[in-house]
Each structure stands twice: as C-alpha cells, then as structure tokens.
C-alpha cells in the first residue's frame, strides 16, 4: 500500500470525515483514577523493613523530584478492503441489501467498486468510535472491522442438469433397480442350514452323523462257581456251573439315515433356497437413487441454478508506538524501552485523545489516533551508610526503575562476612568439624527475607530471579555460592561429629541381634539401625540451625535450600557409609550362630 502524506485532524477543531460532527470535544480514551501520592522514601523503607534485617531509618532522603513526563501514544489502524467470492446455487439466501447482476462478469466488478465507499464508511465509523467517551485506546482489535452490507450475485442455468435439478442415476441408469448382490440375479442362494452348506444333506439327529447306533441287548452267561467243603478238618474246593442274565448295549447301523446323513429339511435336498434379500426376484431397489431413477444434481444441489456471489469486507490492523519529546531524559527513554505501549498507558496518570490523522480523506487506508499521556516519574536522592544513591520510580504504583544498589549494598556486607567465614572454614582441613564461625554470618544472611526468595528462585531455574529490580544477577549468583557453600560445610562438619556415634549404635544393635539369632539377622538389624540414624542426624542439623537462625521458617527454608542444591549428600554419605561398612564387616567375621540362639529343630523322623 502506497504511503500517502497524513492529514492531521484536530480532535476539537479540525473538520471530520464526511458525515461526522466535527464540533464535539475530544474525549479522553483512558481516565484512570488519580492515585494517592506515594512517597518513594516510604516505599524504599518499607522494602528494607519487609525484606531485610536492617532498620528502615538507615535510609535518609536528601532531595526528591516528582514530575509528569509527557509522551505521545500513536495508535495506527491500517484499513484493507478484502474481496470475497463464493460459488452459489439457486438456494442462495438473498438479503434485502443483495443486488442481482445481469451477467456473471459484472459480479466481481460491482463488488470491487464498493471498496472505496466501504473504506470511507469504516473510517467514519472508526473515528466516531475513537471520539466516544471512555473508549480505551486499545479497544479496536485486529480482524474484521466492517462486514459487508450486501452481496452482488448472478445465477445461470446449471450445466450439469440443464436446469432440472436432477440427472439420471449413473448406477441403475434410470431402471430404479439393480442386480441383487446376494444371489447375483439367480434368485436363489446356497442353503444356510447347519451342516448343509448347499449339499442338501445334514447330520442325522439320531446318530449325530456317525451312522452307528446303540441298542439294548441281554444274554445268559455261564460261569464256574467255586464250592468249598470241609471233611475231617480239611478243606476241599469243587466247581459247579451257574448261569445268569447280563444286560448291555450293542452297536448297530443307524436305521434313520444313510451313512450318518439325512435329507435337509430347509432346502428339501436341493442345496439351494430362495433369496430372501430380493424375495427371489433377482433385483433390489437401487440404493444410489432409492428407486427414483434419478439423483440430485451435485453442483446446483437440486436447484437447477448455479453462479457466483461477491462482496467486500473491511479489516483493521492496529499498531501501537510511544514517542517522547526530544528533550526527554534517559530515565524516560529507559522506561519506554522497558515496556510495551499498552503497559505504558496502564501506568500513566492520564491518557487523552489528541488528534486523528488520515492518509487520504477521499480514500482512507490508514487512521492514526494520537493520545497525549502523562507518566509519573519520581527521583529520590538518598543516603545510606554515608553513601549517596540516586533512586528512580515511575508509574501510578511507583515501580522501580533504578535503586542504585542501595538495598544490595546493605545486603552485601552480610554476604561478604559469610564469604570470609567460608574461606576461613575451607582452610580448616579435612578433619575440621567446628561450625560456630559459620553460624553467625549465616544467621545474618538468612534473616533478610529477600535473600531467601532470590536463592530459591535461582535454584528453581527461573530465568529472572525473584527481585531483578532490587539486586543484580551477579549478587544473586554470589549469594547462591556462599549460601550453598555454608550449608554444605555445616552439614559435612556435623556429619563428622555424628558418624562414629551412628556407627557404634549400629554395631551395638547388630551384636545384640547376633547374641539371640545369628550373623545374617545381625547384619540386617545393623543396617536398619544405621538407616535410622539418618533422621536422628536430621534432627541434630535442625537443632543447630534453630539455635543459630531462630525462626522456624528460616530453618525450614535453609534445609530446603540445602536439599535443592544437593549440598547434604556428602553429609548423608558420611553418616551412613561407615556405619553400614562396620555392620557388614562384623556380620562377615561373626560365626553363623550366636551363643544364645535357639537350637535348630531335629529333622530326622523315627520310623
């Protein structure tokens, strides 16, 4: 789109677009409530009081300037006429504003001819909307702004059906029926009776298809029966014959069938039955046309007419920017660079519509709305510990632009003391176990709430730490190193004091278990006792930190930080490792059974 010179329209005196009342006053686009003035000194002192251990009176004001920085917010709206075209049929829903064209070639030309008046109407509507009272500067969103009022259209006779709306069915070719799929036109299908399958025979129900049957039979059986007699004290055995009737069954050929098969009752032995799909006619109703012989024409949907419709919609694309006067200072430019235009507007004391500019009153394709805003900027010259600091806050809620490291320098002293104590502890050697030198500076660092929030955000992997406007990233990393280093030394040195106690306790439990059982149960009991020493060590650490830090919340945070930073693993290894090693060594050296172990039950069975 060619960029034309902008025509400025003053919101109060310059004539508006045709059809608009240009005499109305300019209305503010945003009217924020005027907040109660908040002293920057009070805000800094509250930050120190809430987030650090220091007294707010450590910060004293030298001078303060409170200004309203003028700026211009430019809302530029690009207007574009989108030509739309659709294929229609005789069922096209015509609106009251739709216009019919005599020829198809006229449709597109007539629709495109509306681009200019529709753009002009959209510009008029947008200007009226922007001038309305209490209209936010960003109310107009990207997308469709002015939909079409009507369409231009033309319909011709459909070439597919010749205007009838239907055509001969291509499947049945107008016969209204088609060959039956089940019998393929043969009017009969194979018999579906069980075991027939077109053979005309089924299994005999009497013999189950085997061809053999069983019938009852009886016969006499003669057997030799022994008879024992006694004579002169001696037994004599003789035999005599006896006959008895025996009942049973015998296998014979089935009298109801021939080789296990009988004639099928369903097909009477033919193997075929009448097709039930087509009722033995060989044809079924055409499924494509449902028996009508013709089908609805697809291109015209049965209307017999086909053509095109076209229209023009107007779309808007807003773009926003903030401009400062040439004499604006670096603080103002830093604020504008830090936030987008919408955030600047939200932070402003006021934002008022100033001018509306068009690129071309006769054929507008861009509208620029200029808003005049005022942004509060407060500069405080303060002193802390003999040093002077330049503090800058801005916006209705006074956000920090620069604290000039005033809070960080307060915290830096505690962190430096902790770093020095950490360096001294590192020179103590491997067997050093004293922690008193670390506890006092650790208490001072942990007493500042801000330090805990910063290190937790750093350990959580947050891109920007918890208070980027208050302390620098370098301070956050230094805090992380010192805090985790101090906690690692405390955990490790407490473990050096505790490991041998845990090992002795585990050995005592193992020996006691050995006396009444054996080596293997003793080893298991000793390992369990060594593991039980870990929560005891945890209570020991909590007790030491509680005595140093005081607050339970700070103790919980310190323990959580040590866990997140994995600075307690070496201490846990020192607590568990020697105890488990001692128990396993004792289990290996002790005999299998203890002196008071019960004797094993005898396993031999006396027969």
In this prediction, residue 429 carries a pLDDT of 53
In a domain, 149, yes or no: no
Does 583 share its domain with 450?
A: yes
Which residues are within 8 A (CB) of 228 and not within 5 positions of it... i.e. 6 or more apart?
235, 236, 237
- 248 forms beta bridges with 217
**471-475 mean pLDDT:** 87
Read out DSSP for 511-561? HHHHHHSBHHHHHHHHHHHHHHHHHHHHHHHHHHHHHHH--HHHHHHHHHH
Say yes or no to pLDDT of 278 above 80. yes
Per residue in 83-121, pLDDT tens?
Answer: 999 999 988 888 899 999 999 999 999 999 999 999 999
**Which helix (H) or strand (E) covers residue 388, if one does?**
strand 387-394
Confidence of residue 21 (pLDDT cuts 50, 70, 90): very low
pLDDT attached to residue 5: 35
Nearest alpha-carbon partner for 406 in 2, 48, 17, 37? 48
Q: Is the pLDDT of residue 459 over 80?
A: no
So what's the pLDDT on residue 427?
A: 54
* Three-class HEC string of 553-605: HHHHHHHHHHHHCCCCHHHHHHHHHHHHHHHHHHHHHCCCECCCCCCCCCCCC
Classify residue 365: in a domain, yes or no: no
Longest dimension (CA), the chain: 162
Pair 273, 414 in one domain: no
433 in the same domain as 556: yes
Average pLDDT over residues 368-396: 92
Contact 354, 121 (CB under 8 A): no
Asked whether residue 480 carries a pLDDT value surpassing 70, the answer given is: yes
pLDDT at 24: 34
Q: Is residue 304 classed as helix, strand or coil in its secondary structure?
A: coil
Kindly state whether residue 197 falls inside one of the protein's structural domains: yes
The C-alpha torsion from 583 through 584 and 590 to 594, rounded to 10°, is: 60
413-442 pLDDT per residue, tens: 888 988 888 888 765 555 555 677 888 888
Residues 467-483 have a mean pLDDT of 85
- 3-state secondary structure (DSSP) of residue 206: coil
pLDDT of 77 strictly over 90: yes
> Backbone phi, then psi, for 217, in 5-degree steps?
-150, 150
In a domain, 319, yes or no: no
Query: pLDDT at residue 604 above 80?
Result: no
pLDDT score recorded for residue 15 = 35
Mean pLDDT, residues 164-191 taken together: 87
**Nearest-angstrom CA–CA distance, 43 and 37:** 11
- Choosing from 244, 275, 296, the residue where a domain stops is 296
Alpha helices in 322-405 (DSSP H): 330-338, 341-347
Q: Between these two residues, 388 and 209, which has the higher pLDDT value?
A: 388
pLDDT class of 310 with cuts at 50, 70, 90 = very high
Query: Does the pLDDT at position 370 exceed 80?
Result: yes
419 and 568 housed in the same domain: yes
Answer with the one of 251, 276, 296 that is the final residue of a domain.
296
Tell me the pLDDT band of 342, cut-offs 50, 70 and 90.
very high
Indicate whether 290 and 416 sit together in one domain.
no
pLDDT above 80: residue 281? yes
Pairing of strands 152-157, 99-100: parallel
Domain presence at residue 544: yes
Is residue 530 a part of any domain in this protein?
A: yes
Distances (CA, A) of 167 to 50, 178, 179, 274, 305: 85, 17, 21, 35, 14
At residue 470, the pLDDT reads 85
406-426 vs 473-516: helix crossing angle, rounded to 10: 40
pLDDT at 30: 38
pLDDT in tens, 575-603: 999 989 988 888 888 887 767 667 554 33
pLDDT, averaged across the chain? 83
Distance between CA atoms of 169 and 162, rounded to whole angstroms?
15
Instruction: Give pairs for 332-337: CB < 8 Å, separation 24+.
Output: 332/69, 332/71, 332/375, 332/377, 334/401, 335/375, 335/377, 335/394, 335/401, 336/71
Asked if the model's pLDDT at residue 357 lies above 80, the reply is yes
β-bridge mates for residue 189, sequence order:
273
Number of domain units in the chain: 2
Distance separating alpha carbons of residues 578 and 505, to the nearest angstrom: 12
Length of the chain measured in residues? 607
Q: Cα-flanking dihedrals φ and ψ of residue 408, to 5°?
A: -60, -35
Write down the pLDDT at residue 593.
74
**pLDDT average, residue stretch 21-26:** 35
Range of the domain at 187: 177-228+235-296
360 lies in some domain: no
Distance in angstroms (rounded) separating the CA atoms of residues 537 and 447: 24
The pLDDT of residue 345: 94
Sorting pLDDT into bands at 50, 70 and 90, what band is 32?
A: very low
| pLDDT of the residue at 20 | 36
More confident residue, 558 or 341: 341
**Is residue 571 a part of any domain in this protein?**
yes
Same domain, 425 and 569: yes
Between 59-63, 78-82, 596-600, the lowest mean confidence (pLDDT) is in: 596-600
Q: What is the mean pLDDT of residues 343-353?
A: 93
- pLDDT for 230 beyond 70: yes
According to DSSP, the residues that pair with 511 across neighbouring strands are none
Q: Which residue has the higher pLDDT, 2 or 208?
A: 208
Are 548 and 411 contained in the same domain? yes
SS3 416: helix
Residue 6: pLDDT band by 50, 70, 90 thresholds?
very low
**Cβ-contact 302, 164 below 8 angstroms:** no
Top-ranked range on mean pLDDT: pick from 138-142, 209-213, 359-363: 138-142
Rounded CA gap, 573 and 566, in Å? Answer: 12
């Amino acid at each position: 789109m060619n960029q034309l010179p902008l025509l400025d329209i003053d919101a109060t005196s310059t004539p508006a677009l045709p059809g608009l009342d240009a005499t109305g006053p300019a209305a503010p686009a945003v009217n924020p409530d005027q907040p109660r003035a908040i002293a920057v000194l009070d805000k800094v002192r509250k930050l120190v009081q809430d987030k650090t251990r220091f007294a707010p009176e450590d910060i004293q004001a030298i001078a303060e300037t409170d200004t309203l920085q003028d700026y211009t917010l430019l809302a530029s709206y690009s207007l574009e006429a989108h030509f739309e075209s659709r294929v229609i049929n005789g069922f096209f829903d015509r609106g009251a504003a739709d216009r019919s064209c005599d020829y198809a070639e006229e449709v597109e030309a007539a629709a495109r001819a509306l681009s200019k008046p529709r753009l002009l109407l959209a510009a008029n509507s947008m200007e009226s909307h922007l001038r309305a009272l209490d209209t936010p500067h960003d109310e107009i969103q990207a997308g469709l702004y002015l939909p079409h009022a009507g369409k231009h259209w033309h319909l011709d006779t459909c070439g597919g059906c010749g205007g009838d709306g239907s055509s001969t069915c291509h499947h049945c070719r107008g016969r209204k029926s088609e060959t039956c799929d089940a019998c393929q036109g043969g009017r009969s299908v194979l018999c579906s009776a069980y075991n027939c399958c077109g053979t005309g025979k089924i299994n005999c129900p009497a013999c189950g298809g085997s061809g053999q049957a069983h019938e009852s039979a009886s016969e006499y059986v003669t057997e030799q029966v022994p008879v024992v007699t006694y004579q002169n004290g001696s037994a004599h055995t003789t035999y005599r014959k006896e006959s008895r009737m025996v009942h049973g069954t015998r296998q014979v050929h089935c009298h109801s069938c021939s080789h296990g098969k009988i004639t099928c009752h369903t097909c009477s032995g033919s193997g075929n039955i009448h097709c039930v799909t087509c009722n033995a006619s060989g044809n079924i109703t055409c499924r494509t046309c449902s028996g009508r012989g013709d089908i609805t024409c697809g291109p015209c949907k049965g209307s017999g007419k086909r053509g095109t419709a076209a229209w023009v919609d107007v779309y808007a694309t807003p773009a926003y920017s903030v401009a400062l006067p040439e004499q604006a200072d670096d603080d103002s430019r830093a604020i504008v660079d830090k936030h987008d235009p919408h955030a600047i507007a939200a932070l402003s004391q006021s934002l008022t519509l100033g001018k509306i500019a068009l690129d071309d009153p006769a054929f507008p394709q861009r509208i620029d709305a200029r808003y005049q805003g005022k942004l509060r900027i407060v500069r405080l010259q303060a002193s802390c510990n003999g040093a002077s600091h330049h503090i800058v806050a801005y916006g209705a809620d006074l956000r920090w632009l620069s604290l000039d490291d005033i809070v960080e320098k307060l915290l830096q002293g505690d962190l430096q003391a902790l770093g020095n104590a950490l360096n001294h502890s590192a020179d103590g050697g491997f067997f050093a176990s004293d922690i008193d030198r670390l506890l006092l500076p650790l208490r001072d660092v942990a007493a500042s709430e801000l330090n805990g929030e910063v290190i937790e955000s750093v350990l959580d992997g947050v891109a920007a730490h918890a208070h980027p406007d208050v302390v620098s990233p370098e301070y956050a990393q230094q805090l992380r190193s010192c805090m985790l280093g101090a906690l690692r030394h405390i955990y490790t040195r407490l473990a050096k004091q505790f490991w041998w106690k845990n090992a002795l306790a585990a050995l005592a439990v193992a020996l006691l278990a050995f006396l009444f059982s054996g080596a293997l149960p003793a080893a298991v009991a000793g390992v369990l006792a060594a593991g039980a020493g870990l929560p005891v060590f945890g209570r020991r650490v909590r007790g030491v930190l509680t005595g140093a830090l005081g607050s339970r919340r700070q103790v919980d945070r310190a323990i959580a930080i040590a866990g997140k930073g994995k600075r307690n693993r070496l201490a846990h290894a020192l607590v568990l490792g020697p105890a488990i090693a001692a128990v396993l060594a004792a289990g290996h050296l002790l005999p299998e059974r203890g002196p008071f172990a019960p004797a094993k039950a005898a396993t031999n069975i006396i027969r």
